[in-house]
Structure 1
């Protein structure tokens, strides 16, 4: 390698358009090794590794063998590791997952073993003993190190969450280590989105190695969105069992690579929308559209004041039923424009209307946006073809979920699950009105971004400003809204 490790990783990520790090972890249990013997287990490990390498090399940004699994099989295991490394194409970086953490001549010996004997390009290290652990590895100027920061195991918080100067210890580790050298990356769990976001704030330029995807509960797309740098790079999303245990590792790796590509595209799209300052004209147009929307809510009696008994049994001082919009063509045109405004900040291929109130609204949004529409059957029909989705679509299509309003996420999550079961992606939900905050929390928990044209409190504010309700009525409405 004629350049530094992270410089090369950056160049390769651009060239291959991938952020996938593939683990080579033949995890035989002690009882398996005792029963079958080290030689047989090592032979199986080598066979599996070669199959994975052959099928996935074109999708991998790097390969990452965990050295412990090979050491557990003694000489036969280490021989299998050497043979595995020899079969990895020269242009693909090798990260040895060793988590070494010693000092002085011991650390020097570890560095020699990893970089000199195994010829690895990078290694994972435990920084608990400080600079005396890291410096022997950093002296290999063309290699890289990934320092354990926030790990993916369930008990990680025992030490890593200890508060230091009002920040978790892992955040302090990230800041200290990333300031050391451009050759220092960080191990940050892909199944801990909060940690990914926190560490990215204190280490904006560092490369992350993020395990915990698949078997440990992490999602590649969410990990990327939480941990990527502002330029849409800087994260190696690591997967091992989800690839090695797949019937076809090549297909599993291809799917993960493509998931990460789409996550990168969505990340950059969202960043561009966020940084693009809307013009005064655009802001005025949205404000005008909201005034028109409030007017049609009243004229169509979609919003009414009074005393109403809700499904829950609660008495409400207002009632919203957006199904009346379909009886007024002008109201539907306004709704279509409102959805188009929301959709401008989303990256999608197709609109997914949620039955039943969302279907006519999805239709008008489809016409306004010039985008195709589908809808999930809820529940699925038990006759005819028995299909779960109406309309034409392709596996991998990104669906913009659409409904009239949201209070909780229950029906939205049901629709999302049906769409995902058929190979579709759901990242965003658009609604005209948001009531309360429970629905937003529900959707965020599912990894879906909620975009609402208007919160019900905005509606109350508009009614107060145009003299439709008094200050006292406004307070009552807002207070009740807090109980939803």
Structure 2
């Protein structure tokens, strides 16, 4: 169901040129008529607004956690903004951390920046989009290498609802089965499709969205 909150987030992404329509290729190699690029957030107002959306999603799920992780690179500003908004909006002061793509070989060294996870910590992941689950499979070894931590929840901007590596299962279903992670999304591709159909000017795009969803989405 397309709620007012979802409408606001879709329009927020479009205003920031983060949700775009055209011809694109996803990380998984699929040709898609829409693309979500959180790297296009570029102003203080945008990152502050984004943090509020994410913080609201995290807060409203009611999940318990000890720290927040943002995978490099796009997860870094996301987890930072979310942590700040959680405190400003809900007075929840949670530690956060992220990784470097390459380990630092001077100073303190290591590949993690920010909070240092300890055994027993419950960690949530703050990411942008899951298409085929590739990024999650790259992230989990990083978390497991930093201690005996658990990860039960992940928060993303858009659930593309796409089939993963196995027929009949979305990437998000696979992530839950493989890692025990529940993925929470601010919006889904169906929400975006519903928003487009409710606004004029997208008549040529709708058949492309429908064809893509019929081919890849579950």
TM-score, shorter chain, exceeding 0.5: yes
| Distance in 2 of aligned mates of 1:458 and 1:393 | 37
Contact map agreement 2:75 2:126 (CA 8 A) in 1: yes
| Distance in 1 of aligned mates of 2:142 and 2:112 | 8
2:99 matches 1:366:
no
Query: Structure 1 residues 408 and 307, CA, compared in 2 at 3 Å: closer, same or farther?
Result: closer
Calculate the TM-score normalised by the size of structure 1.
Answer: 0.38
Per-residue CA shift, 1:236-287, capped at 9, x if unaligned?
xxxxxxxxxxxxxxxxxxxxxxxxxxxxxxxxxxxxxxxxxxxxxxx9xx93
User: Secondary structure of the equivalent of 2:124?
Assistant: strand
Aligned to 2:110: 387
Aligned to 2:124: 400
- 1:316 deviates by 2.8
Per-residue CA shift, 1:97-125, capped at 9, x if unaligned?
xxxxxxxxxxxxxxxxxxxxxxxxxxxxx
Is the strand fraction higher in 1 or 2?
2
Equivalent residue in structure 1 for 2:54, among 315, 326, 339: 339
Query: Structure 1 residues 365 and 437, CA, compared in 2 at 3 Å: closer, same or farther?
Result: farther
Query: Structure 1 residues 384 and 329, CA, compared in 2 at 3 Å: closer, same or farther?
Result: closer
| Distance in 2 of aligned mates of 1:380 and 1:441 | 31
Bigger Rg, structure 1 or 2: 1
Q: How does 1:188-207 map to 2 (within 5 A)?
A: none
2:77 matches 1:353:
no
Per-residue CA shift, 1:205-236, capped at 9, x if unaligned?
xxxxxxxxxxxxxxxxxxxxxxxxxxxxxxxx
2:15 matches 1:290:
no
User: Secondary structure of the equivalent of 2:3?
Assistant: helix
| Distance in 1 of aligned mates of 2:79 and 2:180 | 22
Moved runs in structure 1, 4+ residues, more than 4 A?
309-314
Aligned to 2:141: 417
Query: Structure 1 residues 384 and 409, CA, compared in 2 at 3 Å: closer, same or farther?
Result: farther
Runs of 5+ consecutive residues of structure 1 not aligned to the other structure = 1-282
| Distance in 2 of aligned mates of 1:464 and 1:330 | 28
| Distance in 2 of aligned mates of 1:304 and 1:361 | 19
- 1:450 deviates by 0.8
- 1:353 deviates by 0.7
- 1:382 deviates by 4.5
Runs of 5+ consecutive residues of structure 2 not aligned to the other structure = 88-93, 165-170
Aligned to 1:427: 152
Aligned to 2:208: 476
| Distance in 1 of aligned mates of 2:184 and 2:127 | 11
User: Secondary structure of the equivalent of 2:210?
Assistant: helix
Contact map agreement 1:375 1:391 (CA 8 A) in 2: yes
Contact map agreement 2:6 2:191 (CA 8 A) in 1: no
**What RMSD over aligned residues (CA atoms) do the two structures have, in Å?**
2.4
| Distance in 2 of aligned mates of 1:312 and 1:425 | 27
Contact map agreement 1:457 1:478 (CA 8 A) in 2: no
Greater relative contact order structure (CA < 8 Å, 6+ sep): 2
Aligned to 1:375: 98
Aligned to 1:276: none
Aligned to 2:182: 449
Q: How does 1:2-17 map to 2 (within 5 A)?
A: none
Per-residue CA shift, 1:146-201, capped at 9, x if unaligned?
xxxxxxxxxxxxxxxxxxxxxxxxxxxxxxxxxxxxxxxxxxxxxxxxxxxxxxxx
Query: Structure 1 residues 387 and 302, CA, compared in 2 at 3 Å: closer, same or farther?
Result: same
Tell me the matched-pair count. Answer: 198
Per-residue CA shift, 1:340-396, capped at 9, x if unaligned?
232122211111011111111111100011222101333434454432321123412
Q: How does 1:215-226 map to 2 (within 5 A)?
A: none
